[in-house]
Amino acid sequence: MKKLNDKQTAVNVYRLNSQGKKEAKPYYQRIFKSSETKQITLYGFGGDDEFIIGKDIAGIKIILQKGINKIQFPGKNGEPAE
């Protein structure tokens, strides 16, 4: 998830390949507008799920459900933490 501006948040979902690396093309992608979306709920499916959450999410509530193995919150300058 990444804040694009004060009114929009981008969500990109990627599959991981057999080496655990993110595939180049998103499995799912969407831009959510805070004027239309009050909450985004993401569901993990197993122990290998990773969620990377950007610095700000344009006033949208985020809920992460089950199967979460790793969550990264931003480090310095809003970049994802390693």
pTM of the model: 0.70
pLDDT tens for 10-50 read 999 988 888 888 899 999 999 999 899 988 888 887 767 77
pLDDT tens for 2-15 read 888 888 889 999 88
Task: Please answer whether residues 49 and 69 qualify as being in contact, where contact means their C-beta atoms are separated by less than 8 angstroms.
Answer: yes
Give me the DSSP letters along 4-54. Answer: EETTEEEEEE--B-TTSPBPSS-SEEEEEETTT-SEEEEE--STTEEEE--
In angstroms, how far is CA 39 from the centroid of its own chain? 13
